[in-house]
């Protein structure tokens, strides 16, 4: 399967809350405003210092506790609400994917774990998530508290190399959810010509579809195309695999 169950639930939840799907290529800006308590803020040449300044001017004395650096996107969430900051000077395809990636983090790493805890333990558990009080003994036993960041939730979409090893899994999951929001597998496969005998030709067809019809950045289109072809049994043949090894 392309998505695990929790990730698939996140995509379904988003579109249910938005009320209607968006035409392709999707910006996700209107669906985001309809679906989630998350504001979208575009800044030129986004950096950690710019985010801190924006928050401080609005009465939020928040600090990243590190040197400022340029980032493509940033999610700051607290009290069930969130703000997605993006670099508005990025090309439209990069901007589109950054927004989707940060929505994915909000859903899978913040909002849905919080909602599951509320369903299990009641609204009082939000005081623990928001670091207003320590968890009780019973609350400590609830598994989600052991795997969810308490207090202010932060995600940064870096401009440099891939994420550090300890965050790779979460970043990969967010990438996959973002791709499913922007370019659902069924829609991509329906729009692509997969009848070619050679893997390279099938790959080229999906990459062109993803960049031209769905507006994805080419590196993500390449990654997604290979994953989709492998998932449906149309990846490289063993002969091609040996040839390109």
Kindly tell me if the per-residue pLDDT of 162 is higher than 50: no
Q: Give the distance between the most distant pair of CA atoms in the chain.
A: 62
Q: What is the count of structural domains for the chain?
A: 2
**How confident is the model over 215-229, as a mean pLDDT?**
93
161 with 187, same domain: the answer is: no
Q: Which domain holds residue 39?
A: 5-182
84 with 141, same domain: the answer is: yes
174 with 202, same domain: the answer is: no
For residue 32, CA distances in Å to 28, 112, 152, 202 come to: 6, 15, 20, 33
User: pTM of this prediction?
Assistant: 0.88
Higher pLDDT, 135 or 187: 187
Percent of the chain with pLDDT over 90: 47
Cα angle 94, 97, 99; round to 5:
110
pLDDT tier, 32 (very low <50, low <70, confident <90, very high otherwise): very high
DSSP label at residue 87? E
pLDDT at residue 245 in the model:
47
161 with 238, same domain: the answer is: no
| Residue whose structure tokens are 């679906």 | 35
């Amino acid at each position: 399967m392309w998505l695990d169950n929790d990730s698939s639930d996140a995509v379904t939840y988003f579109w249910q809350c938005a009320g209607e799907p968006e035409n392709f290529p999707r910006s996700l800006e209107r669906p985001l405003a309809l679906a989630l308590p998350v504001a979208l803020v575009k800044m030129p040449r986004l950096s950690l210092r710019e985010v801190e300044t924006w928050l401080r001017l609005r009465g939020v004395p928040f600090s990243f506790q590190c040197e400022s650096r340029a980032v493509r996107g940033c999610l700051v969430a607290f009290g069930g609400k969130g703000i997605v900051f993006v670099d508005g000077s990025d090309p439209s395809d990069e901007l589109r994917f950054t927004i989707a990636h940060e929505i994915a983090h909000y859903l899978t790493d913040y909002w849905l774990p919080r909602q599951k805890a509320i369903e299990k333990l009641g609204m009082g558990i939000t005081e623990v998530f928001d670091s207003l009080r320590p968890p009780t003994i019973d609350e400590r036993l609830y598994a989600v508290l052991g795997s969810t960041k308490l207090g202010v939730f932060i995600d940064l979409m870096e401009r440099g190399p891939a994420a550090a090893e300890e965050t790779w899994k979460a970043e990969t999951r967010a990438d996959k959810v973002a791709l499913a929001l922007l370019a659902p597998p069924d829609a991509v496969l329906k729009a692509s010509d997969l009848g070619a005998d050679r893997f390279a030709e099938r790959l080229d067809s999906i990459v062109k579809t993803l960049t031209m019809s769905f507006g994805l950045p080419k590196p993500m289109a390449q990654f997604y195309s290979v994953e989709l072809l492998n998932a449906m049994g149309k990846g490289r043949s063993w002969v091609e695999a040996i040839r390109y090894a």
